[in-house]
C-alpha cells in the first residue's frame, strides 16, 4: 500500500499526540493518583503506535508499545507514578518527537532507543498486556440471511430512490454493504477513504451511514454502511473490499426497489408515531432543542455540520504566496492613489477610494490568516521548566496566561529562542532554592509567570518571577570588571539602567559555568533578536522580590504604517510604531551638550540626529531657520530625527534589502512607493543610544 499520501497527515497528528502526551504527563506529575490522566496519555500513545505501525515506522511503534505497557500497568494499579518513572517516559516522548521530526525532514525515523526500551522494561513489573487481533471470517449475505436490524437500515430520499430506479431499469444491481473495521484501527478515516475509492471504481455510491462528514471525522464505531449501484456481482464486491487493510468483515446485501419502497414507508409510519414523544422528551431536558429529524435528513445535525467545517489545514507556503501577491497589490494601490491625485478625475477618485476600502478589508483578512496563537511556542515550556527545576533542585511552578494571544507567523518563528533564554535565566538566577526561600519567609515553591497580551498594534510577552531579583552590587561589580561601565558612571546609574546591563554581550553573574548558564551567551542574543523584529525589551526588578522581563513586539512584519519624510531629493520611511510625535523647531532652540546637539522637549533633554549626516545625503548647504523633527522612542530613551519635510502617513510593504546589504547601518528595509520610487525604511532603534 502506498502510504505517502497520508504522510503529511501522519506527521501533523503525531505532533499533536506527542504534545498531548507532554501536557498530560505534566498534569500526572501533579496528580499521580488521577487515572483519567493516565488514560489520556495511554490513548495518545496507543493512537501513535497504530499510526506508525500502519505507516511502516517500526522504531516508533516499538517504543510506543513499551511506553504503553508501562502506562497500562499504572492504570491497572500495578505501578505507582514516581518522578523517576516519569523521567524515563519523558525521555521516550522526546525520542519519539525526534523520530517524527526526522520523518518530517525526509528521513526514515530511525533512532537507537535501546537504552530507553531497557529502562521501560525494568520499570514494567507484571505481565505484559497484549491484545491479540481477532480475525473474523467474511461472509456474503442475501436479503434473506441479513443480520442487519431495522435500526441499521439505510433510508433514501426521493432523489436517491429515483437514481436507484433508473439504475434498476438499466440492469444494475443495488447493494447495501456493511463494512466492519478492526476495533483497534487507528487510521479509520484512511480506511474509509480506501473503501470508498474501491467502491467508486466499481459503481456509484448512493448513500452512506454515518454521513461522509462523520466518516471523515472518524465519528463512528467500527461499522459503517454504504449503498452501491454497480454491475459487478456481490462476491466480487466483497472480495475487493476485504483486501483493504484492517477491514475484518464485509456483508453485501442485494436489495430490490420494492423492498426499499416498503422500508421507506415503514420508516415514515415509525416517525409519525414517535415524533410527539421525542419532541416532548427533548423539550423537558433542554428548552433550546425542539427539532425532530425526518428520516430523509442526514443523521448529522446541522450544528455538527457547521462544526466540522470550521477549520481547514492550509500549507503555509500558500499563505506566503498569497501574502506576496497582496503586497504587490498594496504597491499598485499606492500607485493608483498617486495617479488619481495627479489627474483630479472624480470617477477615478471614487473608484480608487472604493478599491482602497476593499483592499483594506482584504488586508485585515489576510493578516489575520497569518496570525498564530503564541500557544504554539508556549507549549514547549512546561516540560522544559520541569526538567530544569529537577536539574537545579528547585521547586518551580510555571503559570501560562494569555496563550491564545495571536502573533504573525514570522514573529512566532523567531521568538521561541529568546523566550527559552529568558525562562532559563529566571529559573537559574531568579528563583532561589527551597532552603533559601523558606529562610526568607517565602513559599518553598517559586513561581514563574509567562504572560502574553495585546496592546494597540503590539503584543507584549512578559516573564515574571518571585525570586531574588537583580543584585545591583553584583551586576555593577561584574560590569566594571568586564569594562562595560566605569566606576564613576556606575554610581550614577539608576536601578533600571543597572538591570539592563545584563543584556550586554558576554555578561553573566553566574559563579559556576553549567549547562544552564554562566557562559555569557543568551540575554544579548535575546536583545538582538527582539530588536531585529522591530521590538524592544524592558526589565523591572526589585531585589528580594523578583524580576519582570517585558518584550514588546509588532503584530506583523509584512505591512507597516510609516511616516514618509524628505531628505534632499530622497524619501525615507519612519515606522509609526517608533514615533511619539512630530515638531517644527527653530534653529535657536537647538542647544549643545557634551558635543551633542539637543533640544528641550517638554522639560526633557532630547538628542538630535541629523539624518542627512547619517545617510550622507547630497545637498546644498542651507541655513534654515526652522527644522522638521520626528521624535522617536526606544524604551525610555528618545531622539529627534531632523529631516527636511514631512510627506505624510502611508501603509507600505516591507521588503528586505537582501544578503549583500543586510548590514547597512540604520536601514531595516525598503519599499516601493506609489510613484515607483524606492524609499528606505529607517531603523530608529539603531539611531538611539
pLDDT in tens, 608-624: 999 998 998 887 766 77
| pLDDT at residue 362 tops 70 | yes
Band (136; pLDDT cuts 50, 70, 90): very low
Residue 453 has a CB neighbour count (10 Å cut-off) of 13
Residues 6+ apart with CB under 8 A from 536: 530, 551, 552, 634, 635, 685
Given a cut of 60, whether residue 143 has pLDDT beyond it is no
* pLDDT over 90 at 519, yes or no: no
What was the pLDDT predicted at 459?
86
How does pLDDT run across 578-589, given as a tens digit for each residue? 899 999 999 889
CA 177, CA 228: separation in Å to the nearest integer?
7
Residue 389 has pLDDT above 80, yes or no: yes
What percentage of the chain reaches a pLDDT higher than 90? 13
Q: What is the mean pLDDT of residues 333-348?
A: 85
Q: How far apart are CA 673 and CA 638, in angstroms?
A: 28
**Mean pLDDT lowest for which of 204-208, 312-316, 475-479?**
312-316
Whether the per-residue pLDDT at 331 is higher than 50: the answer is: yes
Rounded Cα–Cα distance for residues 216 and 303 (Å): 16
Using the predicted structure, report yes or no on whether residue 515 has a pLDDT greater than 60: no
- For 148-167, write each residue's pLDDT tens digit: 333 456 777 777 787 888 78
Is-catalytic flag, 31?
no
* CA-based R_g, the chain, Å: 34
Question: ω into residue 345 within 30 of 0, thus cis?
Answer: no
Q: Which helix (H) or strand (E) element contains residue 38?
A: helix 35-55
Report pLDDT for 20: 87
Q: What average pLDDT does the structure give for the chain?
A: 79
Alpha-carbon span 229 to 306, nearest angstrom: 30
pLDDT reported for residue 153: 61
Query: Higher pLDDT residue, 264 or 168?
Result: 168
Q: Which of the following is catalytic: 425, 464, 500, 685?
A: 425
| Residue 446 pLDDT | 92
Q: What's residue 522's pLDDT? A: 55
75-125: per-residue pLDDT in tens? 888 888 888 888 889 889 989 988 988 888 888 888 888 888 888 888 885
| Percent of the chain scoring above 70 in pLDDT | 83
Residue 167 has a pLDDT of 81
pLDDT, one tens digit per residue, over 367-387 is 788 888 888 888 888 888 888
- DSSP-assigned states of every residue in 326-372: HHHHHHHHHHHHHHHHHH--HHHHHHHHHHHHHHHHHHHHHHHHTEE
Does residue 24 have a pLDDT over 70?
yes
Q: What is the pLDDT, as a whole number, of residue 621?
A: 65
Four-CA torsion 229, 233, 235, 239, nearest 10 degrees: -70
Burial (CB count within 10 angstroms: exposed 0-12, middle 13-18, buried 19+), residue 309: exposed
pLDDT at 286: 34
Active site residue 183: no
- In the prediction, which pLDDT does 397 show? 92
Do 419 and 463 contact (CB within 8 A), yes or no?
yes
Catalytic residue among 17, 24, 40, 46: 46
- What pLDDT digit, counting tens, does each position of 164-199 carry? 887 887 888 888 999 998 888 877 888 888 888 888
For residue 204, how far is the Cα from the chain centroid? 40
Q: What would the mean pLDDT of 29-39 be, rounded to a whole number?
A: 87
Report pLDDT for 135.
32
Does the pLDDT of residue 565 top 90, yes or no?
A: yes
Among candidate residues 68, 124, 249, 432, the one labeled active-site is 68
pLDDT reported for residue 235: 86
Give pLDDT tens digits for 268-319.
Answer: 444 333 333 333 333 333 333 333 333 343 333 334 333 334 567 677 778 8
pLDDT at 513: 43
Which residues make Cβ contacts (< 8 Å) with residue 329, sequence separation at least 6? 359, 362
Q: Is 345 a catalytic residue?
A: no
Confidence of residue 516 (pLDDT cuts 50, 70, 90): low
Whether residue 544 contacts residue 440, with contact meaning beta carbons closer than 8 Å, is answered with: yes
Q: What is the pLDDT of residue 111?
A: 86
Amino acid at each position: 500500500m502506498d502510504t505517502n499520501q497520508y504522510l503529511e497527515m501522519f506527521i501533523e497528528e503525531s505532533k499533536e499526540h506527542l504534545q498531548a502526551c507532554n501536557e498530560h504527563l505534566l498534569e500526572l506529575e501533579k496528580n499521580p493518583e488521577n487515572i483519567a490522566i493516565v488514560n489520556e496519555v495511554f490513548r495518545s500513545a496507543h493512537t501513535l503506535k497504530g499510526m506508525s505501525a500502519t505507516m511502516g515506522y517500526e522504531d516508533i511503534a516499538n517504543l510506543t508499545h513499551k511506553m504503553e505497557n508501562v502506562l497500562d500497568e499504572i492504570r491497572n494499579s500495578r505501578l505507582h507514578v514516581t518522578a523517576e518513572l516519569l523521567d524515563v517516559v519523558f525521555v521516550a516522548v522526546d525520542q519519539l518527537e525526534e523520530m517524527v521530526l526526522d520523518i518530517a525532514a525526509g528521513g526514515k525515523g530511525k533512532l537507537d532507543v535501546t537504552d530507553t526500551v531497557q529502562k521501560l522494561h525494568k520499570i514494567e513489573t507484571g505481565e505484559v498486556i497484549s491484545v491479540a487481533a481477532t480475525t473474523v471470517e467474511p461472509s456474503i449475505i442475501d436479503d434473506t440471511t441479513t443480520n442487519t436490524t431495522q435500526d441499521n437500515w439505510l433510508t433514501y430520499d426521493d432523489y436517491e430512490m429515483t437514481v436507484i430506479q433508473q439504475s434498476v431499469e438499466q440492469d444494475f444491481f443495488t447493494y447495501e454493504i456493511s463494512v466492519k473495521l478492526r476495533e483497534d484501527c487507528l487510521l479509520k478515516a484512511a480506511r474509509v477513504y480506501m473503501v470508498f475509492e474501491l467502491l467508486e471504481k466499481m459503481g456509484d455510491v448512493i448513500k452512506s451511514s454515518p454521513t461522509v462528514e462523520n466518516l471523515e471525522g472518524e465519528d463512528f464505531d467500527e461499522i459503517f454502511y454504504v449503498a452501491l449501484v454497480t454491475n459487478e456481482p456481490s462476491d466480487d464486491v466483497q472480495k475487493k473490499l476485504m483486501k483493504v487493510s484492517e477491514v475484518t468483515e464485509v456483508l453485501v446485501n442485494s436489495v430490490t426497489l420494492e423492498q426499499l419502497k416498503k422500508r421507506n414507508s415503514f420508516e415514515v409510519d415509525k416517525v409519525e408515531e414517535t415524533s410527539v414523544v421525542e419532541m416532548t422528551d427533548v423539550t423537558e431536558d433542554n428548552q433550546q432543542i425542539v427539532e425532530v429529524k425526518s428520516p430523509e435528513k442526514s443523521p448529522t445535525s446541522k450544528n455538527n455540520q457547521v462544526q466540522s467545517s470550521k477549520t481547514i489545514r492550509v500549507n503555509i507556503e500558500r499563505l506566503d504566496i498569497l501574502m506576496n501577491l497582496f503586497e504587490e497589490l498594496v504597491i499598485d494601490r499606492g500607485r493608483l492613489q498617486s495617479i488619481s491625485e495627479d489627474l483630479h478625475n472624480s470617477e477615478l477618485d471614487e473608484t480608487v477610494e472604493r478599491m482602497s476600502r476593499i483592499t483594506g478589508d482584504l488586508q485585515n483578512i489576510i493578516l489575520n490568516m497569518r496570525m498564530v496563537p503564541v500557544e504554539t511556542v508556549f507549549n514547549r515550556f512546561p516540560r522544559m521548566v520541569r526538567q530544569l527545576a529537577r536539574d537545579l533542585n528547585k521547586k518551580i511552578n510555571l503559570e501560562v496566561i494569555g496563550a491564545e494571544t495571536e502573533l504573525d507567523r514570522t514573529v512566532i518563528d523567531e521568538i521561541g529562542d529568546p523566550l527559552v533564554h529568558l525562562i532559563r535565566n529566571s529559573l537559574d538566577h531568579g528563583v532561589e532554592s527551597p532552603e533559601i526561600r523558606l529562610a526568607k519567609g517565602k513559599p518553598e515553591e517559586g513561581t514563574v509567570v509567562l504572560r502574553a497580551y495585546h496592546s494597540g498594534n503590539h503584543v507584549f510577552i512578559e516573564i515574571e518571577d518571585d525570586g531574588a531579583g537583580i543584585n545591583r552590587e553584583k551586576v555593577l561589580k561584574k560590569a566594571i570588571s568586564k569594562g562595560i561601565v566605569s566606576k564613576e558612571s556606575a554610581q550614577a546609574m539608576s536601578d533600571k539602567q543597572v538591570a539592563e546591563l545584563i543584556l550586554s554581550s558576554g555578561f553573566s553573574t553566574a559563579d559556576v559555568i553549567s549547562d544552564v548558564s554562566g557562559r555569557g551567551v543568551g540575554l544579548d542574543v535575546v536583545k538582538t533578536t527582539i530588536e531585529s523584529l522591530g521590538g524592544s525589551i524592558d526589565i523591572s526588578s526589585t531585589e528580594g522580590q523578583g524580576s519582570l522581563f517585558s518584550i514588546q513586539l509588532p503584530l506583523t512584519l509584512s505591512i507597516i504604517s510609516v511616516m514618509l519624510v524628505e531628505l534632499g531629493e530622497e524619501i525615507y520611511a519612519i515606522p509609526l510604531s517608533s514615533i511619539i510625535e512630530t515638531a517644527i523647531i527653530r534653529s535657536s532652540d537647538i542647544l549643545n551638550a557634551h558635543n551633542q546637539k539637543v533640544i528641550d522637549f517638554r522639560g526633557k533633554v532630547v538628542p538630535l540626529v541629523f539624518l542627512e549626516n547619517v545617510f550622507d545625503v547630497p545637498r546644498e548647504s542651507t541655513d534654515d531657520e526652522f527644522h522638521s523633527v520626528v521624535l522617536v522612542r526606544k524604551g525610555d530613551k528618545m531622539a529627534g530625527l531632523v529631516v527636511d519635510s514631512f510627506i505624510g502617513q502611508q501603509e507600505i510593504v516591507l521588503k528586505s534589502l537582501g544578503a549583500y546589504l543586510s548590514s547597512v547601518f540604520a536601514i531595516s528595509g525598503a519599499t516601493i512607493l506609489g510613484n515607483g520610487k524606492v524609499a528606505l525604511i529607517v531603523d530608529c532603534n539603531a539611531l538611539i543610544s
